Copies of this chain bind each other. A is one copy, B any other.
Amino acid sequence: MTDLCKEINKFGKGIGNEARYRIIQSLLKGHKTVSEITRIVKLSQPAVSQHLATLKSCDLVIAERSGKEVFYAVNAEYTLKLLQNLIKDMDKKPSRKR
């Protein structure tokens, strides 16, 4: 299993869930604290923390504490590079149609 393989798989695990996808969407508009995200996605705080932990382990988000709060942001460089690599990969070996 190539590295890209594993990375894309993580990516898929991360966004392959409605709640997490909504979290990512909200973060695309700017970094947010856990409580802000909690309000936006309308899930309990623990549920949100758990999803954020998953997203972090997938490298899709970055966390940064600022006092009592923790800001989460999309790991944009990483994600963009990943997607671009995937696209390159797919372009490179297109599936023959028949």
Contacts and interface: CB of A to CB of B under 8 A. Distances in A.
A64 B96 CA distance: 12
A39 to B, nearest CB: 17
B73 A80 contact: no
A96 B73 contact: yes
A13 B87 CA distance: 18
Given A31-B98, A90-B80, A93-B28, A12 B9 contact: no
A47 interface: no
Which of A16, A18, A74, A89 has the largest count of B CB atoms less than 10 A from its CB? A16
Interface of A: 1, 5, 8-9, 11-18, 21-22, 25, 27-31, 64, 66, 71, 73-74, 76, 79-80, 83-84, 86-87, 89-91, 93-98
30 contacts: A1-B22, A5-B25, A8-B15, A9-B16, A9-B21, A11-B12, A11-B16, A12-B12, A12-B15, A12-B16, A13-B16, A27-B95, A28-B93, A28-B95, A31-B97, A31-B98, A64-B98, A73-B96, A74-B95, A76-B90, A76-B94, A76-B95, A79-B90, A80-B87, A80-B90, A80-B91, A83-B83, A83-B86, A83-B87, A87-B87
